[in-house]
Amino acid sequence: MSDALKQRWWQYHCENPKVYELFEKFTMDVIGRGHKNYSANALFERIRWHTDVEVAEEGEFKLSNNHHAYYARYFHWKHPEFEGFFRTKKVEGDRL
């Protein structure tokens, strides 16, 4: 992952804080159900379902599949007790 991708993610994250709020909430729900690992991609699909169908917030924000890895790493950073919950690959320049 390049620094440019990370910078685009960070800008998106700052402009759309609700995405991380939902990512974190749904991750905690999955952890609460006893899962030891889960897919960040699956959580993105859950966010899409939630905003498009359950609460009809369609159009509020668009999710880029390029951001999965950064949200997973950000979650690990904010919740070190769950480090490794998302399986991430090591990449050059990975600092988050």
Distance from C-alpha of 29 to C-alpha of 13, rounded to nearest angstrom: 21
The better pLDDT of the pair 55, 21 is held by 21
List the domain boundaries for the chain.
Answer: 3-82
Residue 2 confidence (pLDDT) above 80: no
**Would you say 47 and 23 are in contact if contact means Cβ atoms under 8 Å apart?**
yes
The better pLDDT of the pair 36, 94 is held by 36
| pLDDT tens readout for residues 27-82 | 999 999 999 999 999 999 999 888 877 766 555 668 888 898 999 999 999 999 99
Q: What pLDDT is attached to residue 57?
A: 55
Helix and strand element counts for the chain (H, E) = 4, 0
Q: What is the pTM of this model?
A: 0.85
Distances in whole angstroms, Cα of residue 42 to Cα of each of 4, 10, 38, 92, 95: 24, 21, 8, 25, 24
